[in-house]
Structure 1
């Protein structure tokens, strides 16, 4: 995928920030699953879909989104079904649109089916809206973790990472909220004249 094609959806700086935040959030979600006090994702109300005996891959977790969509999380990425089906791979933060959502929940990224970059203004806006929805959910999750576990659990998760984090452990929620508002500002009407309107 060309960097230019992606930059029409997300400015480079926003994509880089998203990549760093998503990487640390995915790490933290993995730690939440393994929490000694019990799986925190299940405690928060996500549904774990156990991998069938003999199947390769990772068990997905699903949860409803406030706007009526659905979020599915795996170790390899997140799928936001909110109008469009938007898959965000863990590596590289290069969100794509899925042609359709598989009837069953896959256990491997390859089973998600055909994916493509958005081509129309509507698709680009839908993808950014899906990312804003994901960012909002991740921010809420951090708030919930903090109220449920206190600040020490997240600090412990951050401390177990080998890589330096882009934010402090207690700054993850607000970093995702800033990311979501930056995404929304891209579609707030200030930059509508940057591209010709089809059919005008």
Structure 2
């Protein structure tokens, strides 16, 4: 039996920097002088029924297929891992999109949680329950089987590409302006999308 895939420390270090900055950027995009950029890019804002300070942004995501990676060997047997090296992405003929949801504390993508604090990466049900408004509401778990480890790996790859694609469509001047207002050391606006793609490559 092979081992469960675990997120490498180098990925966690880079992801922590990227996601913290990305959440800041999304928060600034809401305040764009010409209108909320999240809404412009297809997100729908949802507000909590009773707490006006709680909101989230939801979108249906469709991405091109992932670049395949080498099948994983099963330790000591010279065989390949039974899982396909591709994630079966939606958006093709007859397929619907994958659900993406943003909060100030992180994001949800098709059963993958990326939490802003320390870049915590966990799994959950593919469909988001309707009552998730704070990080305390999230019901998450760490992969306990090989299959779950591979699910986390592939979903993390596609989440990185989704974010990179979003950044590709943000005006560079606006992103640079938002980062000048941030009080932390930042990744440059010119590098932000490329760093997300590099992170995806490191996860393959």
TM-score of the aligned structures, taking structure 1 as reference length: 0.78
Match for residue 60 of structure 2? 64
Match for residue 73 of structure 1? 102
Once residues 93 and 132 of structure 1 are traced to their aligned partners in structure 2, the CA distance between those partners, rounded to angstroms, is 14
Given that 2:108 and 2:114 are in contact with CA atoms closer than 8 Å, whether structure 1 keeps it comes out as yes
Relative contact order (alpha carbons < 8 A, sep ≥ 6): 1 or 2 greater? Answer: 2
Shift of residue 101, structure 1, vs aligned partner: 4.4
Match for residue 37 of structure 1? 34
Q: Which runs of 5+ in 1 are unaligned?
A: 1-6, 185-200
- Alignment of 1:164 with 2:185, yes or no, is yes
Pairwise mapping of residues 15-164 of structure 1 onto structure 2 (< 5 A)? 15-52=12-49, 54-55=50-51, 58-66=54-62, 67-68=89-90, 69-81=98-110, 85-98=111-124, 101-113=127-139, 115-146=140-171, 151-164=172-185
SS of residue paired to 1:88 = strand
Match for residue 198 of structure 2? 178
**Which one is further off, 14-23 or 66-75?**
66-75
Q: Which runs of 5+ in 2 are unaligned?
A: 63-88, 91-97
Q: How many residues align?
A: 168
| Greater than 4 Å deviation, 4+ residue runs | 99-102
Match for residue 66 of structure 2? none
Match for residue 3 of structure 1? none
Hey, which of these two has a bigger chunk of helix by percent? Answer: 1
TM-score of the aligned structures, taking structure 2 as reference length: 0.77
Q: CA RMSD in A?
A: 1.8
Shift of residue 130, structure 1, vs aligned partner: 1.2
